[in-house]
Every structure is written in structure tokens, then in C-alpha cells.
């Protein structure tokens, strides 16, 4: 009672802080609550925008447990029926196999080719400088457009590749139309589009390498392969992992190249998981049965990326730390 009007001795300068807080509040450091909330407030718009897209994602888990169809208004809860149906369908396992094959071959070829080309371009000649600039063009072109270009080139009546093959006596190469060469054709287009991605990343890694260890290796007379294996490779490993991560994640869910070239055909030769889900949802109009195909792919991609990212951050620490 008696302390009213008098500053509380236990809180020094309490009145001072109060007095200056009201008139010009932007001159003093923000109060703790605002400081804590500020990063979240700044992030809020970006979060809101993406939550709008994430909500459908959770809805899709629910719909995968129903027999929702674009054909009828009503739908009912069917439990795990869609899931068990998918897992017992041999076509599902075929799709998994196609998806993995596609990702394995395209990523594998792109990594090997990308590393090789990057090693060759890692010189300061005028030619390699110019090539570094133009070789990224395929990467900038839409995969669908790239597919169209290849389709035109292999077209039997006007295609230049078809012409070249004919002139050396091969005239029954059917590319995407033949089950035997369909996978080769789509992987070829994927390789054409995405190898520059690996080249660009590996080149950046090669160019940032320190010079000294390589000079001493040269003095010691190590062979080129030995230097590459013991010096270059460990040093650019984090970079290779990043390239691998991006390529695997994206090739596992590739839709546009396969769709543009063959629509998943001939027959169901190229029916990867995204193509099958597309078919279920937009050809048969069954949303309920389409969703499990994509959910299972997403779970797989999520787990794989989680481990690859952890492995990458460890590799990066090793490369820069010790």
C-alpha cells in the first residue's frame, strides 16, 4: 500500500523501462515475446501459402481409404481395401519395378557421364569455357519439349536419326513403340535433359578444390587414376551426393517424359507408379484406388531423402573438417 507511486526497489529501473516503452517503441530493443514470435511472424505468409497445398495432402490419406470416384457423387469408407487390392495386384509390382528401373538407369548414366564430362571440361582452354556455357541448354528445356524434339528426330519420315539409321541399314528401330526399346528411349531423353545438372555441380566442386595436394601427388608420381580415387573423389563426395539426391528424387517421380513419349505404353511396359496413378484417376476416374500408388511412392521418397541428407551432412563435415 505504501509503495504505490514509489518505484519497486526489487526491480531496478522498472519505471524507466515503462516510461520509454510507450512513446517511441522502435528505438528500444523489442520485448522478449515479440523477439520470440518474430521469426514465426515473418515466416507466416510462406507457411499459410503452403499449408493450403499441404491440407489436400492429408485429405488424400483419408480418400485413399474410401471408394471415391469422379463418376458418382456418393462414396463410402472402405478401410484398407484399396491398399490390399493394390498390394496383391501384379501390375502394382510391375509399376514398382518400372519406376525403380527408370530411376536407376537414368540416374546411373547421368552420374557417370556427368562426372566424366566434368573432368574433361575442367581445363582453362577457350573451348571448354565455351562448352561449359552452352552444354546446360538441354537442362533449361522443358522435359516435354525435349521429348517432342526426340520424337521428331526419330520420326520415320522426317527424322534425322531415323534417316541416319536407315543409311547404315537399320530400319526397324521403333524407339518408344517397341516394348524392347521403350525403356531405353525414355532413359535416353532423361539423360539428354539432366546430365548437364550433374556436370554443372561436379564442375563447381572440381574448380573449388585446393591446388596443393594435387601438386604434391604429381611430384610423388601418383597415377591419374590413383589421384582421382584418393584425392578428388573424397573431396567432391558431398557434391556428388547432392547431385545424386536430386536426380534420384526427381527421376523416381518422373511423369512428363514417359507420358509425352508413350503414355506408359506400349501395353503397360512403361507404367511407372505416377503413370499408373494418373491412369486410375483420369482414365478410370477412380480417385480412391489411385491415391495409394502415390502415397507409397511418397513414403519411399521421403525415407530415402531423409537418409541421403543425413549421409550428406556427415560427408560434408568429413570433407571440410578433418
Partner 1 sequence: MYALFALFPLFWMLLISFKHDREMFNTIFVFHPTLENYRVLFSTGEYIGYFMNNVFVSVGAVLLSLVVGVPAAYALARFDFKGKEDLAFTFLSFRFAPEMLVILPLFLIYQRIGLYDTAFGLIWVFQLISLPFIIWILRGYFEDISPEIEHAARVDGYSWWRVFLKINMPLIKPGMVAAALLSFIFVWNNFTFALLLAGQDVVTTTVASLKYISSDTVHYGQMAAAVTISALPEVILALLIQKHLVRGLSMGAVKG
- Closest to 320 (Cα-Cα) out of 201, 239, 247: 239
Q: Where are the alpha helices (DSSP H) in the chain?
A: 14-21, 32-63, 81-88, 90-121, 126-134, 137-140, 143-153, 160-167, 179-207, 212-219, 224-227, 233-252, 256-262, 273-278, 287-320
Is residue 141 involved in binding partner 1 (CB under 8 A)?
Answer: yes
Between residue 36 and residue 55, which ones bind partner 1 under the rule CB under 8 A?
Answer: 36, 38-40, 42-43, 45-47, 49-50, 52-53
User: Could you tell me the CA-to-CA distances from 202 to 113, 148, 239, 241 in Å, in that order?
Assistant: 11, 28, 7, 10
Question: Which of 65, 78, 109, 148 is close enough to bind partner 1 by CB under 8 A?
Answer: 148
Is residue 153 involved in binding partner 1 (CB under 8 A)?
Answer: yes
Is residue 87 involved in binding partner 1 (CB under 8 A)?
Answer: no
Residue 80, C-beta contacts closer than 8 angstroms, at least 6 positions apart: 65
Between residue 13 and residue 32, which ones bind partner 1 under the rule CB under 8 A?
Answer: 26-27
Question: Which of 11, 158, 168, 219 is close enough to bind partner 1 by CB under 8 A?
Answer: 158
Nearest approach, Cβ of 315 to partner 1 (angstroms)?
12
Question: Which of 174, 177, 250, 315 is close enough to bind partner 1 by CB under 8 A?
Answer: 250
Nearest approach, Cβ of 277 to partner 1 (angstroms)?
5
- CA–CA–CA angle 49, 273, 294 (5° rounding): 35
Between residue 251 and residue 310, which ones bind partner 1 under the rule CB under 8 A?
Answer: 252-253, 255-256, 259-260, 274, 277-278, 281-282, 287, 290-291, 294-295, 297-298, 301-302, 305, 309
Question: Which of 65, 100, 109, 113 is close enough to bind partner 1 by CB under 8 A?
Answer: 113
Nearest approach, Cβ of 288 to partner 1 (angstroms)?
10
**Of residues 12 and 234, the one with the C-beta less far from partner 1:** 234
Between residue 172 and residue 231, which ones bind partner 1 under the rule CB under 8 A?
Answer: 192, 195-197, 200-201, 203-205, 208
Question: Which of 78, 100, 119, 135 is close enough to bind partner 1 by CB under 8 A?
Answer: 135
Nearest approach, Cβ of 2 to partner 1 (angstroms)?
41
Is residue 133 involved in binding partner 1 (CB under 8 A)?
Answer: yes
DSSP string across 230-267: IIIHHHHHHHHHHHHHHHHHHHHT--HHHHHHHTT-ST
- CA–CA–CA angle 199, 202, 203 (5° rounding): 80
Alpha-carbon distance 33 to 320, whole Å?
38
Amino acid at each position: 500500500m505504501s509503495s504505490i507511486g514509489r518505484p519497486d526497489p526489487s526491480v531496478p529501473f522498472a519505471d524507466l523501462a515503462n516510461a520509454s516503452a510507450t512513446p517511441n517503441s522502435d528505438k528500444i530493443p523489442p520485448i522478449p515475446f515479440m523477439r520470440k514470435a518474430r521469426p514465426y511472424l515473418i515466416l507466416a505468409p510462406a507457411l499459410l501459402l503452403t499449408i493450403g497445398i499441404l491440407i489436400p495432402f492429408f485429405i488424400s490419406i483419408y480418400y485413399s481409404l474410401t471408394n471415391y470416384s469422379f463418376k458418382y457423387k456418393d462414396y463410402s469408407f472402405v478401410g484398407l481395401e484399396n491398399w490390399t487390392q493394390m498390394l496383391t495386384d501384379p501390375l502394382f509390382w510391375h509399376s514398382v519395378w518400372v519406376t525403380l528401373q527408370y530411376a536407376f538407369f537414368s540416374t546411373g548414366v547421368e552420374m557417370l557421364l556427368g562426372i566424366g564430362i566434368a573432368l574433361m571440361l575442367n581445363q582453362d582452354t577457350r573451348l571448354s569455357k565455351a562448352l561449359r556455357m552452352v552444354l546446360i541448354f538441354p537442362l533449361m528445356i522443358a522435359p516435354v519439349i525435349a521429348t517432342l524434339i526426340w520424337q521428331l528426330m526419330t520420326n520415320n519420315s522426317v527424322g534425322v536419326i531415323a534417316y541416319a539409321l536407315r543409311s547404315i541399314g537399320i530400319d526397324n528401330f521403333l524407339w518408344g513403340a517397341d516394348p524392347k526399346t521403350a525403356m531405353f528411349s525414355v532413359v535416353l531423353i532423361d539423360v539428354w535433359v539432366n546430365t548437364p545438372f550433374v556436370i554443372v555441380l561436379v564442375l563447381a566442386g572440381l574448380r573449388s578444390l585446393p591446388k596443393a595436394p594435387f601438386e604434391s601427388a604429381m611430384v610423388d608420381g601418383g597415377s591419374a587414376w590413383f589421384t582421382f580415387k584418393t584425392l578428388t573423389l573424397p573431396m567432391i563426395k558431398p557434391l556428388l551426393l547432392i547431385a545424386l539426391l536430386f536426380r534420384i528424387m526427381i527421376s523416381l517421380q518422373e511423369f512428363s517424359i514417359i507420358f509425352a513419349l508413350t503414355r506408359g505404353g506400349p501395353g503397360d511396359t512403361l507404367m511407372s507408379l505416377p503413370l499408373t496413378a494418373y491412369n486410375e484417376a483420369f482414365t478410370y476416374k477412380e480417385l480412391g484406388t489411385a491415391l495409394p500408388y502415390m502415397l507409397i511412392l511418397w513414403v519411399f521418397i521421403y525415407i530415402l531423402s531423409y537418409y541421403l541428407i543425413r549421409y550428406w551432412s556427415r560427408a560434408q563435415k568429413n570433407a571440410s573438417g578433418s
